[in-house]
Structure 1
Amino acid sequence: MKAGSKFLNAVSAFALSASVVASGAGVVVLASAPIAQAATIQRVDVRGAQRAGEEAVRSNITIRPGVSFSEADIDESVKRLYSTGYFSDVRISVSGRSLVVTVNENQLVNQVVFNGNRKIKDDKLAGAVQTQPLGPYSDALLSSDVERLKEAYSATGRSDVEITTQVVPVGQGRVNIAFQINEGDRTKIDSINFVGNQAYGNRRLRDVIATKESGPLSFLTRKDVYNDDKRRADEEALRQFYYNHGYADFRVVSSDAALDESKNAYTVNFTVEEGQRYTFGDVRVESTVDGINAEDLQGLVETKSGDTYSAKDIQKSMEAISERVAAAGYPFARVTPRGDRNFQNNTIGVSYLVDQGERAYVERIEVRGNTRTRDYVIRREFDISEGDAFNQTMITRAKRRLEALGYFGKVNISTTQGTSADRVIIVVDVEDQSTGSFGIGVGYSPSSDSAILEASIEEKNFLGRGQYIRIAVGGGLDDARTYSLSFTEPYFLGYRLAAGFDVFRSQSSSEDYYDYNEQGFTLRVTAPITEDLATTFRYTYKEIGYDGNDNYLNNGNLSQPYIDMINHGDYVQSSISQTLTYNTVDSMTLPREGIYATVTHEYAGLGGDSEYYKIYGRARYFTLLSDEADIIGQLSAGAGHVIATGDKLNIFDQFTFGGKQVRGFENNGLGPRMPNGDALGGTTYFNASAEVSIPAPGLPEDFGLRLNAFADAGVLYGNDVPAAGVRDDNSIRASVGAGLTWASPFGALRVDYAVPVAKEDYDETQNFRFSMANQF
């Protein structure tokens, strides 16, 4: 037989044996007898592609004229065409020397509209669906879009949303799609119950988890939105809470949520098994690595014999040892904690074993799921990069840092095998969450030393770059006004340096004596020293202006130092400062345990009208007096001193002292004063405070109301402002009182009532005080 005849016979046999049909149910091979030999065609004939165009079809198949192909190529071509979504039916056959591709086109979407939605805007819903204008219409895609919209509403607490669709043909193969939405009522959380808990009450455990019971303010906080992912995260939060408070055997036996359709509300249940509470037994470090002395590492261990068992302290000890060993030239060394339980005395001895781990390198760090945050923002939280020695402890630290950023709703880090046995791929899965906010809260005006109502716009992850920006405007009593703009780059020049600036302006009046205004800027950079210790350097330029009331000036209502200050009118203050901050508190919003301490020294005299050196600081210690009742104790102390480095101090260079430090007194109500009552400020101060805080009984945790009882004491003395008849002494002032703290959706607010128990007759008192809570 001639070669040409053999080819034609082969093509004919192929045409009969390989007819393939694709439909909405998938790709079906009608006949699949094997081809005796490879076949080729001379051209591709496309039929039915009126809107898509013939070239679009040809570009989505793998078969080319003059190139041999097989049944697998036809099968792959059909799958590719069908996966575009533009075709409802695809057939490929061979006719003579032509490949015939016959398609039936899907209708195109002309317009997508949403009807009935009020709680979620159109642009948000459009971003959730895959059906888009000018895209192909598909019943399957439309059904999946309905589920996506339901998930979006469920995330806002509206699980009973009802969504239907309407498809309206508009001619020329196009359709309009309408999503008809009945948003329904918000699905609430009626109660959260715990079973099996003995050491901690339900109220305390409800405070640990993120899910909250519905309350009067839930429509603002949205913490009562239920979903399964959030419940699983709550399980982990409970585990970490118990592990860090001595319960090493704790486990969540089960958790579930039952929806009462008649109330449209969930009941969430957690069944737990606490086990016994442990303390640390013997703690030691062992090393099998030549050159590593275990005794030299013992000082890095944060777990001490006799302390309450804490998984967090074990992790921090592992990180400190691992970092020291790696810095000593042993990058592959591994730190493994080994526990030795003693059930008789409920202790756990811990041995930190340093041994030579497997030699493995990081092949790459793969970031997935970030739709907004840039890859480099995530990668820079790792202390290791591609090519470095793999260290699991550093991976754990990176996960903790990523979670602390607040950019992500979920962070998971896993590892997979690389291209060889000694290569590891680190896979980082994240889920972006909203980081912008608009708030109304209480601010503080340094110019008037008083509280102001403040509105602000804040973004913690600006443009997905991890930058922080905040714009705020405030107003208060005495015509006080404040304006501020803050910006922070957390990784300046690629280093872990938080650099930023603040621009501010404020104005106020002083009891009709004079108008005060100040404006300026601050440049700052913060560098971490350890995980708990950081240092901040600042340069501040400030213009201060006074505009006096002639009636008061002429009638002698102001003392001579104030008259001189007002007559001068305008001042410039240029200063540099450095602050050390030590922070181990467990929460910056409601601290229960830890220390927050700062010490600052400041020098003014880089030009301007102020020349001084200041040093001042404050330390606050928090501890849980009762875990079960959530009773928090707090001790604080502060001190400061200023000296003139030039001719004299200005009034505004000295320290002011009053209700912020010793409640029960007015702002600037303590310290040196003129005979007419003008406060001059002072050069030296000391203060201390003790406080107890308990949850307000009878109210849900989500309301955030706590009762406080406190005792304050302090003194401000010394005056370097030239003045006659100054009343000044160094006697201690003290007060006792009670108050309410409200963690409101607009910020942490506080009101106190205090009674002075030790004061001088020229001090100015004020029993009620409204302020911000936890002004760190």
Structure 2
Amino acid sequence: MKAGRHFVSAVSALALSTGLVASGAFAVQFAAVAAAEAAVVSSIDVRGNRRVDDATIREYVGIQPGRNFGPVDIDEGVKRLFGTGLFADVRINQVGSTLVVEVDEYAIVNQVIFQGNKKIKDANLSQAVQLKPRGTYSDAALEADSESIRQAYSAIGRDDATVSGRTIDLGDNRVNVVFEINEGDRTKIAAINFVGNNAFNARRLKEVITTKSSNVLSFLFRDDLYSEDRLRADEEALRRFYYNRGYADFRVISSYAELDETRNEYTVSFTIEEGERYTFGDVTIESTLDGIDTASVGRLIESEKGEVYSAKAVEDTIIALTETVVDKGYAFAQVTPRGDRDFENRTISVTYSIDQGARTYIERIEIRGNSRTRDYVIRREFDISEGDAFNQVMVQRAKRRLEGLNYFTSVNVSTVPGSQPDQVYLVIDVVEKSTGEFSIGAGYSTSGETSATGGISVEGSISERNFLGRGQYIKVSAGGGKNSRDYGLSFTEPYFLGRRISAGFDVFRRTRNYTNYNSEETGATVRLGLPITRALSTQVAYNYSVQEYSFSSRCDEDGNGVADPGCDIGSAYIDAIAQGAWTKSSVSGTLLFNTIDNMNNPRSGIYATFTGEYAGLGGDAEWVKLTGRATYYHTLLEEQDVVALLSVGGGHIIETGAPLRLFDYFQNSTRIIRGFESSGIGPVDSANGKDHLGGTTYFNATAEAQFPLPLVPDSLGLKGAVFADAATLYGNSLTQVAAGSDAMNWRASVGASLLWASPFGPLRVDYAVPVVKEETDQVQHFNIGISTRF
């Protein structure tokens, strides 16, 4: 848009100046010259120039003394002089045997000054304007730049910002350009309305779109900014939402935003037509290619008869079939879905036709718009390259990968004809966005007095998703509270050795100050990740850490490393701390299965992990630890947006050499069961009957229903939940374990939660009541902290 505006301004200036030449004195002289077939002058006199020397102007005029010239020569000379961009006006007049060239030079910009701006810095505004120091000045450029500044403020939600441009004459044809800016107030979105929706209420549809109405927290979220581009994207999001839920006839009739200038507020309205809801009818495959067994590839179909129609299921099937057929050697194969609607029964039968497509090759891949991101970072997301067969499905898959990188605000892939009829150019246009992020957050945990992470905590981090334009990820973080400190550095290369294998490392240091003892842990991890299928991936890692334990001043007043007699701590802790520093050297492997629809706000899918870790490659630890967790999300009531989740997990540690230490055992946390303190269930120390020593095995399960809160604006990101937890933690070979406390005894709790998608991350408040517990268990009803879904 900016370039187009500049072009119009330049053309306007040229037309205006040319119009001046065509009138007045020059028009008379031009008529005189036109009356003759040709004219000759003995000299060329240049007047009005201050910076551009006479010789340069004569060269641009192109007329030589002593040689014939005509009207066309004068016209071309005028055009060339205007084309330099140095002159506001040009007049050519023949006086006797002299050709007089009079010019008015544009003023030179000395400084560009911005006044009244606070929300946008001078450096950013300087990039938005075309007038630059030591450049030429024009009124058209001043007006264009004023509009560019207004657009910059509109982009940050200040549509009532006003900009007034003026000049200060410095003499000697030099000026200062001053833009006086009144930033105004943020333009809010007062309401978002939907007309024509019956299947889903407005609250549910507001969660689908990215435009949000303004609220008291909008200054943090910054998601209440109106833009035409965002409105178009919201239209597409609504289409996808309805198409994937059976409404194949859905359409957006209109979408618009109305600005109330007196209140400086937008009202955004969507008028839609939902249509009928369809289910899948018969789903079949037909092929004209020899060697393709339609029965064998039928397992790739992502839908079944009777299921609710989903455009995503059709799209996924097309991709799966195309990949399989291409792998079988049919590089030009084309999979085309053909739908047959039964309006009476509201079903859509789909036939996937596999045919030989046109033999077209990719002659060249051209990437445009990536001023920062390296070309190879974009190219590697394509499974095809120059010289390969062109396949639209493979191209669209690469486009989705590029969008998933979150490096670009937009990605557009198009084709243009190549040098031969069977050749095409693949053109990739990207618009980059900021990939660096600085975040700072705070939280509050109500963990029990034995925890070091209770109370207020803060955390800050600096991360870059596209480090040096190489597609690498780096993060530096620091945080802590009254009794804890955390420092970390992470780095990931997503394409290790040029393959779709991620490699990286993590370095960390953690300190904890508990009531009776302190711990310090320093460690590092080196990891490799490999995708297996679209939903399944694996990661292997080597882990090394050193832990040091010491008694707190409360238990060791003289600092001799021995617990004081009056220290209220079990004998198991005294023995473990006395062993001093402890080193762990291990390898681990993780399998991850993920079909979650939206990681920020899940409503369907499975997220499951299983990790096995072996410690014993040197160091003090010698054990095998197995842990796993699976969470299933399912929408119970689509219109009311009620989502259920079921989660199960477990862990087991096996001693393989040296006896397990106290700190090797699993301890309870809110991820296992709520309603009990951290380290508040399981085997206890016989010395005092209250210190929980952890267990070798745990199992847990959770059932939860999440729902919107009535009368609370959805833009606040608040939800409610009710839940039921069950868990057991048992098994311990330490000699200090109280008899019978290491048995497999189940605990259970029920409760309610408040979930908040805050600017600091997902937070939740839980209130849980234990309904099954042991006498030695430590109860904690309230818990406030970071919400960890997976």
Same fold at TM > 0.5? yes
Q: Which residue of 1 aligns with 2:509?
A: 505
Q: Which residue of 1 aligns with 2:438?
A: 438
Partner-residue secondary structure (3-state), 1:146: helix
Contact 1:615 1:642 (8 Å CA) reproduced: yes
Q: Which residue of 1 aligns with 2:710?
A: 697
Q: Is residue 683 of structure 2 the alignment partner of residue 683 of structure 1?
A: no
Using a 3 Å threshold, how does the CA distance of structure 1 residues 170 and 639 change in structure 2: closer, same or farther?
same
Shift of 1:76: 7.2
Shift of 1:73: 9.3
Using a 3 Å threshold, how does the CA distance of structure 1 residues 415 and 42 change in structure 2: closer, same or farther?
farther
Cα deviation digits, residues 304-344 of structure 1 (max 9, x gap): 22221111111111111111111111110001111111112
Q: Is residue 211 of structure 2 the alignment partner of residue 200 of structure 1?
A: no
Contact 2:332 2:390 (8 Å CA) reproduced: yes
Shift of 1:558: 2.9
Residue correspondence of structure 1 range 34-183 to structure 2 within 5 A: 50-52=50-52, 82-90=82-90, 103-183=103-183
Contact 2:110 2:176 (8 Å CA) reproduced: yes
Shift of 1:63: 10
Residue correspondence of structure 1 range 242-257 to structure 2 within 5 A: 242-257=242-257
Cα deviation digits, residues 562-589 of structure 1 (max 9, x gap): 2232222211111111111111111111
Match for 2:752: what amino acid? A
Identity %: 53
Q: 2:742 aligns with which of 725, 728, 731?
A: 728
Contact 1:23 1:88 (8 Å CA) reproduced: no
Q: Which residue of 2 aligns with 1:488?
A: 492
Measure the CA separation in 2 of the matches of 1:685 and 1:758: 16
Partner-residue secondary structure (3-state), 2:362: strand
Measure the CA separation in 1 of the matches of 2:72 and 2:130: 30
Q: Which residue of 1 aligns with 2:560?
A: none
Contact 2:683 2:737 (8 Å CA) reproduced: no
Measure the CA separation in 1 of the matches of 2:69 and 2:345: 77
Using a 3 Å threshold, how does the CA distance of structure 1 residues 41 and 212 change in structure 2: closer, same or farther?
farther
Partner-residue secondary structure (3-state), 2:146: helix
Using a 3 Å threshold, how does the CA distance of structure 1 residues 292 and 562 change in structure 2: closer, same or farther?
same
Q: Is residue 597 of structure 2 the alignment partner of residue 586 of structure 1?
A: yes
Measure the CA separation in 2 of the matches of 1:220 and 1:82: 50
Measure the CA separation in 2 of the matches of 1:735 and 1:655: 20
Measure the CA separation in 1 of the matches of 2:132 and 2:684: 72
Q: Is residue 788 of structure 2 the alignment partner of residue 774 of structure 1?
A: yes
Shift of 1:271: 0.7
Q: Is residue 532 of structure 2 the alignment partner of residue 529 of structure 1?
A: yes
Q: 1:708 aligns with which of 688, 698, 721?
A: 721
Structure 1 residues without counterparts, runs of 5 or longer: 1-20
Q: Which residue of 2 aligns with 1:743?
A: 757
Contact 1:191 1:268 (8 Å CA) reproduced: yes
Partner-residue secondary structure (3-state), 2:569: coil
Contact 1:22 1:78 (8 Å CA) reproduced: no
Cα deviation digits, residues 322-369 of structure 1 (max 9, x gap): 111111111100011111111122111111111000011112223333
Residue correspondence of structure 1 range 315-714 to structure 2 within 5 A: 315-441=315-441, 448=452, 452-477=457-482, 479-511=483-515, 513-549=516-552, 552=555, 553-555=563-565, 557-675=568-686, 676=688, 677-714=690-727
Using a 3 Å threshold, how does the CA distance of structure 1 residues 352 and 102 change in structure 2: closer, same or farther?
farther
User: Which stretch shifts more, 335-344 or 649-658?
Assistant: 649-658
Shift of 1:276: 0.8
Shift of 1:294: 1.6
Q: Which residue of 2 aligns with 1:287?
A: 287
Contact 2:279 2:348 (8 Å CA) reproduced: yes
Cα deviation digits, residues 187-210 of structure 1 (max 9, x gap): 111111111111000110011001
Match for 1:544: what amino acid? Q
Measure the CA separation in 1 of the matches of 2:524 and 2:615: 15
Shift of 1:70: 11
Contact 1:534 1:581 (8 Å CA) reproduced: yes
Match for 2:195: what amino acid? V
Match for 2:692: what amino acid? A
Using a 3 Å threshold, how does the CA distance of structure 1 residues 738 and 507 change in structure 2: closer, same or farther?
same
Measure the CA separation in 1 of the matches of 2:60 and 2:718: 63
Measure the CA separation in 2 of the matches of 1:721 and 1:64: 106
Measure the CA separation in 2 of the matches of 1:722 and 1:38: 117
Using a 3 Å threshold, how does the CA distance of structure 1 residues 374 and 129 change in structure 2: closer, same or farther?
farther
Contact 1:589 1:774 (8 Å CA) reproduced: no
Partner-residue secondary structure (3-state), 2:364: strand
Q: Which residue of 1 aligns with 2:558?
A: none
**TM-score when normalising by structure 1:** 0.90
Contact 1:659 1:668 (8 Å CA) reproduced: no
Using a 3 Å threshold, how does the CA distance of structure 1 residues 22 and 267 change in structure 2: closer, same or farther?
closer
Cα deviation digits, residues 133-181 of structure 1 (max 9, x gap): 1111121111111111111100111111110012001122211011000
Q: Is residue 771 of structure 2 the alignment partner of residue 760 of structure 1?
A: no
Shift of 1:415: 2.0
Match for 1:297: what amino acid? V
Measure the CA separation in 2 of the matches of 1:475 and 1:376: 39
Measure the CA separation in 2 of the matches of 1:670 and 1:485: 33
Contact 2:17 2:88 (8 Å CA) reproduced: no
Match for 2:679: what amino acid? N
Partner-residue secondary structure (3-state), 1:402: helix
Match for 2:747: what amino acid? R
Using a 3 Å threshold, how does the CA distance of structure 1 residues 57 and 666 change in structure 2: closer, same or farther?
farther
Q: How many corresponding residue pairs?
A: 754
Contact 2:621 2:658 (8 Å CA) reproduced: no
Shift of 1:246: 0.8
Measure the CA separation in 1 of the matches of 2:168 and 2:769: 74
Partner-residue secondary structure (3-state), 2:134: coil
Using a 3 Å threshold, how does the CA distance of structure 1 residues 509 and 694 change in structure 2: closer, same or farther?
same
Quote the RMSD (CA, aligned, Å): 3.4
Contact 1:128 1:148 (8 Å CA) reproduced: yes
Contact 1:23 1:89 (8 Å CA) reproduced: no
Using a 3 Å threshold, how does the CA distance of structure 1 residues 277 and 37 change in structure 2: closer, same or farther?
farther
Measure the CA separation in 2 of the matches of 1:574 and 1:530: 30
Cα deviation digits, residues 691-739 of structure 1 (max 9, x gap): 0011111111110010110000111111244535353110111110001
Contact 1:436 1:458 (8 Å CA) reproduced: yes
Using a 3 Å threshold, how does the CA distance of structure 1 residues 719 and 134 change in structure 2: closer, same or farther?
same
Measure the CA separation in 2 of the matches of 1:503 and 1:419: 52
Using a 3 Å threshold, how does the CA distance of structure 1 residues 573 and 448 change in structure 2: closer, same or farther?
farther
Using a 3 Å threshold, how does the CA distance of structure 1 residues 543 and 251 change in structure 2: closer, same or farther?
same
Using a 3 Å threshold, how does the CA distance of structure 1 residues 26 and 466 change in structure 2: closer, same or farther?
farther
Measure the CA separation in 2 of the matches of 1:111 and 1:240: 50
Partner-residue secondary structure (3-state), 1:554: coil
Contact 1:383 1:398 (8 Å CA) reproduced: yes
**TM-score when normalising by structure 2:** 0.88
Shift of 1:686: 0.8
Shift of 1:50: 4.4
Q: Which residue of 1 aligns with 2:559?
A: none
Using a 3 Å threshold, how does the CA distance of structure 1 residues 377 and 80 change in structure 2: closer, same or farther?
farther
